[in-house]
Structure 1
Amino acid sequence: MTKYQLNTNEYNPYFQTYIDKAGDLNVIEGLKQNGLTVMAFLEAIPEEKYDYAYAQGKWTIKELIQHVIDTERIFTFRALSFARKENTALSGFDENEYAKTSQANRRSKQSLLNEYKALRLASIALFESFTDDMMLQIGNASNSDISVRAIGFILVGHENHHCQIIQERYL
């Protein structure tokens, strides 16, 4: 299934930007290819750039990568919950508070990349475990309905979005 098969009732319009940036592959292949592309991109960034923020109050590249990691963890938890037919609405999260308290700037480039790679492999395994029926399950998070498959496309597009931001504003 590709992003073109998504129905508009499967996600909040806020996520359209990420879905648009998810590419044309199915969810599993998109997660795999995106993971390889993101790793290659991040590995190519010089270590000294990782502590750089393009303006006062903006995240460093380390904080941005930690944000991507945190977001993937939260969204894969949502996907698992909804695939298992969780009926409880899940709360949102404050990405700025997460970044502020993450201590990402104390970490090394390699530490962040190792965590990203391990997490992406786990996310792929999770999505590979879902049946077609599970992928269609819809739950509620952040006061909006969202399907399991939409979450997969959002993850891919979210990371593409942040790589684009790094390319345009940090490098």
Structure 2
Amino acid sequence: MKKSELKKDEIGEFYWNYINLIPDDAELIGTLKKNTEDMVQFFRSIPAEKWRYSYAAGKWSVLEMVQHLIDTDRIFQYRALSFARQESKSLPGFDHDSYVLHSGAEKREADNLIEEFKQVRESGIYLFRSFTDEMLAQKGIMNEMTATARAIGFVMAGHALHHKDIIRKRYL
């Protein structure tokens, strides 16, 4: 399915900031695969001395930002799976700042985080590939808003691009 097939009511307005970073003719699985490859290549290009750098007090380091992307991908994959399986319960939001604070990212090495990002994302690609068109279109409630599994897939790719842009502008 292509991004251009998404309808505005498939996810909350906030998430369109991420989806709109993806070209209209982009196909879901191809986008996730290319985004994964591009992000891994980008992460590998970051100089070693920048991984623990933070551009201001209270801002995340690059290590923490990559951990945030890993955590968020896991959460979004769970949400997509839940909706594809027609979960009727509302799924909670999460406090991304608390997740980063308690992640232990600062004790990890860049190569380890890069590999984890790659593995988590590849697992997600298998997940999205397993969904039928009907499963992808299933709606559910997350963080008090309606979303579809297919919209979540595009959010994952756009969210990574958003953070790539932040790293480029403020960390490198």
The equivalent of 2:135 in structure 1 is 134
The equivalent of 1:104 in structure 2 is 105
Question: Structure 2: how far apart are the matches of 1:22 and 1:159?
Answer: 11
Question: Structure 2: how far apart are the matches of 1:164 and 1:135?
Answer: 28
Task: Tell me how far 1:50 sits from its aligned partner.
Answer: 0.3
Cα root mean square deviation, aligned: 0.7
Task: Tell me how far 1:22 sits from its aligned partner.
Answer: 2.2
Q: Percent identity among equivalent residues? A: 44
Q: Secondary structure at the match of 1:146?
A: strand
Question: Structure 2: how far apart are the matches of 1:99 and 1:169?
Answer: 18
Task: Report Cα offsets for 1:59-88 as digits up to 9, x if no partner.
Answer: 000000000000000000000000000000
Write out aligned runs for 1:66-77 (5 A): 66-77=67-78
Matched residue type, 2:14: Y
Question: Structure 1: how far apart are the matches of 2:170 and 2:105?
Answer: 19
TM-score (norm 1): 0.98
Q: Secondary structure at the match of 1:139?
A: strand
Question: Structure 1: how far apart are the matches of 2:159 and 2:3?
Answer: 14
Q: Secondary structure at the match of 2:19?
A: helix
Question: Structure 1: how far apart are the matches of 2:14 and 2:126?
Answer: 27
The equivalent of 2:32 in structure 1 is 31
Matched residue type, 2:153: G
Question: Structure 2: how far apart are the matches of 1:71 and 1:148?
Answer: 15
Matched residue type, 2:65: L
Matched residue type, 2:2: T
Q: Secondary structure at the match of 2:51?
A: helix
Matched residue type, 2:35: N
Question: Structure 1: how far apart are the matches of 2:13 and 2:107?
Answer: 35
Question: Structure 2: how far apart are the matches of 1:169 and 1:62?
Answer: 14
Q: Secondary structure at the match of 1:91?
A: coil
Question: Structure 2: how far apart are the matches of 1:22 and 1:38?
Answer: 14
The equivalent of 1:5 in structure 2 is 5
The equivalent of 2:168 in structure 1 is 167
Matched residue type, 1:30: T
Matched residue type, 2:6: L
Question: Structure 1: how far apart are the matches of 2:124 and 2:47?
Answer: 27
Q: Number of residues paired by the alignment?
A: 171
The equivalent of 1:41 in structure 2 is 42
Give the gaps of 5 or more residues in structure 2. none
Q: Secondary structure at the match of 2:26?
A: coil
Matched residue type, 2:55: Y
Runs of 4+ in 1 over 6 A off after TM superposition: none
Question: Structure 2: how far apart are the matches of 1:161 and 1:87?
Answer: 31
Task: Tell me how far 1:35 sits from its aligned partner.
Answer: 0.2
